[in-house]
Amino acid sequence: MIWEKTINLKQLRYFVKVVETGNITRASERMNVAQTALGQQIRQLEQGLGVQLLERHSRGISLTEPGEVLYRHALAILSSIDLARQEVIASGAQRREVVNLGVTPSIQALIGPELLLDARAEIPHFSFRIVEELSFILVDALLRGELDLALAYEFQKRPEVSAVPLMEEELLFVASAGSCVLEEPISFEAAIRTNLALVSDRDIIWRMVHDEARRQGIPVNIAFEVQSMPAIKTLVMRGAATSIVPYGVVAEEIQQGLVVACPICEPTLKRTLFLNRKTGASSFIQEKSLFAFLDKMIDRLTERMGPYGRRIGRDAFQQRGEIKP
């Protein structure tokens, strides 16, 4: 176009700065441009438009009538460009994809803070909202549409949930530091005859314990039913109860010597961690990078669990980053 051949944004910015400073020398200093180069740009602008824009005199410069017209338009054009740049940048920031991710207390304890910090550094186009709850509560929230994804332990197949196995975890028997009921390892029968504190009949650990007890034909001694992991830990530390829990829930208390833990045998109790997603849920725009990041975090979680965690389902993520059905 003719306009594009006669004027450009660089020349407009130079022209406006010269008018604002009233002097080509001062304008060249403020813009860190050689005075001769700045003067040449102004002359090219005038030649392209075929009009004189500036009158040069001993006191500096003044605008001609065409110069005044161009100056008004130049201010509007440059202001509009700056506004467009700001809105584009703001729009890009606002379009960060929000991920409502549910995690269990044991996962939160082992990698929760790192998940948030590493996500900000490695996948800044995503914004995580972490919800920490027990597995069955997370799955309920997923079905209500309150979560996009849930890292939860759930073994009931549901057509409305797509669940991908990620890791297998061994559960531990825990008691107060001064307890004398511990063997290494403790049998399942011996464990469930102690004063257990468990969550509720909807919790996967409760169901695992009771299902195995029914198979063996032995009763489970539930002293406390408490839907709160912190409360269960308090009961255990005070010696009022024992429990069967994942390593992550009591890792810190074990290190501090507040509780003791040991594996369970005859049989070993293991649960599977799944990445749960509502069937038919919309894909994320940059899904591949999101699931690659989560895959890495599951590796870290498994590592933190030591001998109690084993990674499975490494082919759970397809190359394009989607969950396999």
Residues belonging to the chain? 325
**2-92 and 172-268: same fold?**
no
What mean pLDDT is predicted for residues 179-187?
Answer: 76
What mean pLDDT is predicted for residues 26-51?
Answer: 84
285 pLDDT tier (thresholds 50, 70, 90): confident
Q: Is the pLDDT of residue 302 over 90?
A: yes
What mean pLDDT is predicted for residues 253-278?
Answer: 93
| pLDDT, averaged across the chain | 86
CATH ID of 2-92, from 1.10.10.10, 1.10.10.60, 3.40.109.10, 2.40.110.10? 1.10.10.10
What mean pLDDT is predicted for residues 260-270?
Answer: 93
Spans of all domains in the chain = 2-92, 97-168+272-311, 172-268
pTM higher than the cut 0.75: no
Taking CA atoms, 289 is separated from 65, 282, 292, 295, in Å, by 57, 16, 5, 10
285 φψ region: left (φ > 0), alpha (ψ -120 to 50), beta (else): alpha
In the chain, where do the E strands start and end? Answer: 54-57, 60-63, 97-103, 126-132, 149-153, 161-170, 172-176, 186-187, 196-198, 222-225, 243-245, 259-265, 270-278, 309-311
Could you read off the pLDDT of 112-164 as tens digits, one per residue? 999 999 999 999 989 999 999 989 899 999 999 999 999 999 767 778 888 99
What tokens appear for 265 in the block?
């045998």
For the domain made up of 172-268, give the CATH fold: D-Maltodextrin-Binding Protein; domain 2 (3.40.190)
> Is 135:204 a contact under the CB 8 Å cutoff?
yes
Neighbouring residues of 173: CB distance < 8 A, sequence distance ≥ 6 = 182, 185, 186, 191, 242, 243, 244, 261, 262, 263, 264
DSSP 283: P
Q: Is the pLDDT of residue 2 over 80?
A: no
Question: Using CA atoms in the order 17, 19, 21, 24, what is the torsion angle rounded to 10 degrees?
Answer: 80
What mean pLDDT is predicted for residues 231-248?
Answer: 94
Question: Where does residue 101 rank: exposed (0-12), middle (13-18), buried (19+ CB within 10 A)?
Answer: buried
Count of alpha carbons within 13 angstroms of residue 232, beta-carbon side:
25
Residue-wise burial string across 63-72, b where 16 or more C-beta atoms lie within 10 A, e elsewhere: beeebeebbe
What mean pLDDT is predicted for residues 20-26?
Answer: 84
Angle between helices 65-94 and 9-21 (to 10 degrees): 120
Could you read off the pLDDT of 45-96 as tens digits, one per residue? 888 888 888 888 877 788 899 889 988 898 888 888 877 776 666 565 556 7
Q: Cis omega before residue 267 (within 30°)?
A: yes
What mean pLDDT is predicted for residues 36-52?
Answer: 86
Return the residue matching tokens 């403790």: 186
| Model pLDDT, residue 169 | 95
Q: Is the pLDDT of residue 5 over 60?
A: no
Share of the chain above pLDDT 90, in %: 50
Partners of 63 in beta bridges? 54
- Higher pLDDT, residue 285 or 173: 173
In 104-156, where do the E strands start and end? Answer: 126-132, 149-153
For the domain made up of 97-168+272-311, give the CATH fold: D-Maltodextrin-Binding Protein; domain 2 (3.40.190)
| Model pLDDT, residue 221 | 95
